[in-house]
Amino acid sequence: MALNGLLDIELSVPDPAELLEFWQRRGMVRTADGVVGTADRPVQLRIAQGGYRHMSELHMSCAAEQDLADIAGRIGEMGVASTISGTRLTCTDPVFGHRVVIDVTAPHPLTPTQARAWNHAGSQERLNARADAVVEAQPRAPRRLGHIVLGTPHFQKATAFFFDGLGFKVSDQFLQGVATFGRIETDHHNLLIQPAPTSYINHYAMEMDDIDAIGKAGQAVLAERADANVVGVGRHFLGSNVFWYLTDPAGTMFEFFSDIDQIIDDEAWERDHCKRDWMGSDGIAPISVWGPQEPETFLNPADMAVIGAAREALGLD
């Protein structure tokens, strides 16, 4: 089980040009027709024409050609056909219906963040100078695609495909697998699968340098569309990341995040930190340590019925 990277995703939407231009205004660079990337990773989001908004392809990487054969064998036992051509495996997700592409490669490393000097209580780093976030000429751009969250009524089947088949590692769970966070990199999660009335992408997440970068980027989105706000700013319990959720022009929720937990010792995490039945003392699984309460649309977007109807018309349940 040697998946090693979330490379990029393809989003299919009714107006691809609008979504591409939106991410260019956030500081991402158009590197090919229908493609935007970041300074270190030129392909992060691919935007295609679609009758309704959905994720149409998930592109990941693995360490060796043997990994492709191993994955093909495991998903084959689940009844999922795949094709291996050279150093690439392709298949169709049995629940969501998107393409899955796995290449023998690895994500390009990120250039280290240019750290800002902070004045903490009892420890001053910035002297005789204004904060960098105050004086910088332009907001910092997103650094990379970090994770996706998928909702489905078939969450057990989807979880089996991604974890037992493709090889994601469990980081944390709600209620013994009702919702499962998984990783293929050192991030706490590159994926969350959770229950939903229909199968859809709940959100995709772009990593930012820090909370100032999140705040300034989110503010710029609200300056364009005041109704784009969903919830934030806050800090999650599981993953620990700082977040701000907004919607893109196609109506898909996305997250600006930073400071996510890094897991480099799988055995230590499983032994000391992994929660299989995360739940608050009041019987509710809280999403944040601090921050505003999430609205109903956080888990049930307004166009859920539209997505469900579009999937039904295509023969997808």
Interval 166-173 mean pLDDT? 97
14-54 pLDDT tens trace? 999 999 999 999 999 999 999 999 999 999 999 999 999 99
Q: Is residue 113 in a domain?
A: no
User: Tell me, what's the pLDDT at 188?
Assistant: 98
Q: Across the chain, what does the average pLDDT equal?
A: 96
Q: Is residue 130 in a domain?
A: no
Task: Work out how many domains the chain is built from and give that number.
Answer: 1
Q: Is residue 29 in a domain?
A: yes
User: Tell me, what's the pLDDT at 286?
Assistant: 80
pLDDT > 60? residue 1: no
Q: Is residue 125 in a domain?
A: no
Question: What is the pLDDT confidence band of residue 282, given thresholds at 50, 70 and 90?
Answer: low
User: Tell me, what's the pLDDT at 278?
Assistant: 87
Q: Is residue 115 in a domain?
A: no
User: Tell me, what's the pLDDT at 30?
Assistant: 97
Q: Is residue 77 in a domain?
A: yes
User: Tell me, what's the pLDDT at 289?
Assistant: 94
pLDDT > 80? residue 215: yes
Interval 104-133 mean pLDDT? 95
Its domain, for residue 65, covers: 3-107+136-313
- Give the strand pairing for 253-258 and 200-207: parallel
Interval 183-189 mean pLDDT? 98
Q: Is residue 117 in a domain?
A: no
CATH number for the domain spanning 93: value is 3.10.180.10
Q: Which residues contact 136 (CB under 8 A, 6 or more apart)?
A: none
User: Tell me, what's the pLDDT at 201?
Assistant: 98
In the numeric block, the tokens 């005041």 are attached to: 226
CA angle 210–138–216, rounded 5-degree value: 45
